[in-house]
Structures are given as structure tokens and as C-alpha cells.
Amino acid sequence: MLGIAVLAALLPLAVSWLGFVFTVAIGKGLAALGVAILLRAGMISIGHALFFAIGAYAIAFLMRDAAIGELVTLFACATLITAAAGLVVGAFMVRYRGIFFAMLNLAVSMVFFTLLSKLYRLTGGTDGMRVPTPSLLGMELSRPAFEQALHLIAIAIMVGVALITDRYLKSPLGQALSAIATNEVRLEFIGVSARGVLLVAYIASAALAGLGGALSAVAIGHVVPEFSYWTLSGQLVLIAVLGGIGGVPGAFIGAFFLELVRTFAVGFAAEAWNAIIGISLLVVIFFLPEGLFGLLQRLETRMRGRKS
């Protein structure tokens, strides 16, 4: 993990536009991590772009209507707002499982997309809203300097979030998530509320996606309704699946991988990007059940085997 962070920090000094790609990738990685957490419990959210968009638009609204212009404050507020949304939506969602849960998430995200597109006076409609450059802890920076700082902040967030999420997944609450997937009935019989466990996970996953959306909003400087569209939800699912159910780093590795491929493919495959995501999803499901992360783990084990 440290290696990746160091790498990520060094690269953009050489190629400035890659820094932007990495920052956006971290944003999506955070959201995909949210999807991955729910995946632990066997639940697939195919509408997680909802919370990504809530976090992103929260930033835009906070800057425009609440006169909050400082980055750390903005991130904190956006994350809290999205977590609150996660609580409200989650309280309803955790009653459901399987495809019902998946489709409800998709439905809510698409309703939000429609609202964002139609409420022109409030949200700028399909044009979206501008996100001006925030200050950082009181300092006003030029855009290029800000972007460099944001890049480092993104890496710090990634590392911090990864550590916290890892601890959460190893805790009794986090382990109970996979117990829901394997034997929800037994979990209830040992006195644990599956809905309670799921609600905590749902709020956490929403907060992650919201933070990712907030990060992307600031990095891109603009928010549009497409932040809530099914296409982004699809990418998040693919990243989460690529990363494999095992890994916290997996979500970020998957996100970097996807963003890099997208950056290079945008020249000739922009029109078919969703189809590529779809096909990749099918390929990963059919041939790589543990996802990319699992593949790396197996390579690692094989390499260690060769050394000894």
C-alpha cells in the first residue's frame, strides 16, 4: 500500500495530467469501496452513484449557498450530509436483499438523477453547477498549486480511509457482514440484528461514496446530474468486483486500473465504454471470481513460493 502511495505521489510530478487522473480514480475508489463493503454481505448496490452525486452536489451547494469555502470543512460536511442520506435511505433498504435491494438502489439513484436534471433553478439542470477552487485551511492557492495539494490530500484520504475500513471489516460488526451472507438466520439466533449490522454498513458505504464524490467535485470543478447515472454505478460495481471481495486496497487498485484504461481508451472507444465495462464485468465473473485483487494475491503467493 505504501508503495502505491509513493508511486502515486511521484508520478504526477513527471506527468502533470496523471495527477488529475489519480485524484479522480481515488474518488471513484472510495465509492467503489462503499460498494465492496456491501458486497461483503452479499448485497450488490447497482445505484451507488446516488451517494457519489449527493456528496458532489453537497460540495457545490455548500460553496454556493452556505458560503463554506474551506476544503477540509467542505469534505467533512459533505461526508456527514451523505451519511445522513445513507441513514434515511438505508433504513428502508436494509429490509431487502438480493435483486430487490439492487434494483431499489438503482431506482433511487435514477430518481435522483431525474431530480437533478429537472430542478433547473436549484441545481442548474443538465448543465450542472460550478465548483470554484476552495481555500485550504485558510490559504488561498492558485489552481495549479491547489491541484497538487489536492492530489496529496487525496492520497492521504485514501490511506486513512483504507486503514479505518480495514479495521472496520475486521471488527465483529464487519465480520458479521459476511455472516449475513452465509447464514443470516443463525446470526439472528445469536442475538444480532442483521438489519442493524447492515444499516451501519450502508451508512459507511454511503459516507465513502459521498467523500469520493466530494473529492471528484473539487478535482473536476464541476458537478453534473450524470454523477448519479447508472453508467457511473456500473463502473463502481466493476471496480468493486475487480478488487475482489477480499480487498480494501483492491478497490483503489481497481479504480486506478480502470481510470488509466479509460484515459487511454477515450480516443477510440468512448462510445462503447459501458459495453466495455459490461463485458469486463462478465469476463471477471466468469473467469476471475476473486477479482483482480485475488489474482494479485495468488501471484504474490506463487512468487513467495518460488523464493523459498
C-beta of 102 vs 217, nearer to another protein: 102
Q: Are the C-beta atoms of residues 238 and 281 closer than 8 Å to each other?
A: yes
- Region 216-245 residues binding another protein, contact defined as CB under 8 A: 229-231, 234, 237, 241
- C-alpha to C-alpha distance for 91 and 193, rounded to whole angstroms: 13
CB of 52 to another protein, least distance (A): 17
Exactly one of 6, 282, 298, 300 binds another protein (CB under 8 A); which one?
282
Does residue 175 bind another protein (CB under 8 A)? yes
Q: What is the DSSP letter of 139?
A: B
Exactly one of 170, 221, 266, 298 binds another protein (CB under 8 A); which one?
170
Does residue 125 bind another protein (CB under 8 A)? no
Please name the helix (run of DSSP H) or strand (run of DSSP E) that holds residue 223, with its range, or none. strand 222-223
Exactly one of 14, 65, 271, 307 binds another protein (CB under 8 A); which one?
271
Q: Which residues contact 1 (CB under 8 A, 6 or more apart)?
A: 159, 162, 249
Does residue 95 bind another protein (CB under 8 A)? yes
Going 224 to 230 to 234 to 240, the CA torsion angle's sign is positive
Does residue 130 bind another protein (CB under 8 A)? no
Q: Are the C-beta atoms of residues 56 and 227 closer than 8 Å to each other?
A: yes
CB of 277 to another protein, least distance (A): 5
Q: Which of 174, 188, 233 is nearest to 209 (CA)?
A: 233
C-alpha cell at 240: 468493486
Q: Are the C-beta atoms of residues 292 and 244 closer than 8 Å to each other?
A: yes
Q: Which of 202, 194, 189, 205 is nearest to 240 (CA)?
A: 205
Exactly one of 142, 190, 305, 306 binds another protein (CB under 8 A); which one?
190
Does residue 191 bind another protein (CB under 8 A)? yes
Exactly one of 278, 298, 299, 301 binds another protein (CB under 8 A); which one?
278
Binding-residue total with another protein (CB under 8 A): 67
Exactly one of 115, 122, 145, 163 binds another protein (CB under 8 A); which one?
115
- C-alpha to C-alpha distance for 226 and 235, rounded to whole angstroms: 13
Q: Are the C-beta atoms of residues 53 and 212 closer than 8 Å to each other?
A: no
For the chain, how big is the Rg over CA atoms in Å? 19
C-beta of 145 vs 164, nearer to another protein: 164
- 50-58, 66-74, 215-223, 275-283 -> range binding another protein (CB under 8 A): 275-283
CB of 263 to another protein, least distance (A): 19
- C-alpha to C-alpha distance for 104 and 201, rounded to whole angstroms: 17
Binding site for another protein (CB under 8 A): 39, 42, 44, 46, 92, 95-100, 102-104, 106-108, 110-111, 114-115, 118, 167-168, 170-176, 178-179, 181-183, 185-193, 196-197, 200, 229-231, 234, 237, 241, 271-279, 281-282, 285-286
